[in-house]
Copies of this chain bind each other. A is one copy, B any other.
């Protein structure tokens, strides 16, 4: 019997990471899902992450409680900052300082403990325009750093950071996930979802997602609070 290669997949409960799980599974990896309770307002994301990980039949799903809210500085973790409903110039207030750097660093730690060397993250070209830590050059720089940082790499297993959605539009991501059988009804993208995981329909994340389903020509299974 061939032992499958292990991969850590960062799973937020959103549309992108659900697609990444399906892609990693199709590439033959044994899946280890990692989520973060980082003081985000939208706790329904974490329920979605659990549903998505279960559907993808992961070997293990860990959720780490981390202290980003304590540092503040983002509309996603600080209730003093309003969630915007209009597109903004520059870097949006929903940007969480150093978030992907921290998430990838924890992924790296877990990989080292398990002896894995592959890490998947669902950053993509749409986020790219606003969040600096979603850009391809950031992912490449993180991979380079990780190969100098870790025992795994020093001992001969190069670390690879996979960002398979990097160059895809939201519509292309949805089409790919649809082809792979992802149930997007389990996912939550909204920055202001209610406790049942129903989407507000008006925040940045909702607008991108709704538009994506339209462009992909795939029926949108999202549960909205408003029509």
Contact = CB atoms under 8 A, between A and B. Distances in A.
B72 A113 contact: yes
Interface string A135-173: 101100110111011110111000000000000000000
A106 B113 contact: no
A113 B71 contact: yes
Given A97-B108, A98-B106, A112-B97, A148 B138 contact: yes
A154 B71 CA distance: 20
Contacts of A150: 97-98, 132-133
A98 B108 contact: yes
How many copies are assembled?
2
Question: What is the size category of the interface that chain A forms with chain B?
Answer: 35 or more
A64 to B, nearest CB: 5
Given A149-B100, A150-B98, A110 B71 contact: yes
Contacts of A67: 64-66, 106
A102 B97 contact: no
A105 interface: yes
A219 interface: no
B112 A145 contact: no
A146 B102 CA distance: 11
A70 interface: yes
A15 to B, nearest CB: 23
Contacts of A101: 105, 108-109, 145-146, 149
A59 to B, nearest CB: 15
A75 interface: no
Contacts of A154: 91, 132
16 contacts: A64-B70, A68-B109, A73-B109, A73-B113, A91-B155, A95-B151, A97-B108, A98-B106, A98-B109, A99-B109, A100-B149, A132-B148, A137-B148, A138-B149, A141-B149, A142-B149
Interface of A: 62, 64-68, 70-73, 91, 95, 97-102, 105-106, 108-110, 112-113, 132-133, 135, 137-138, 141-142, 144-146, 148-151, 153-155
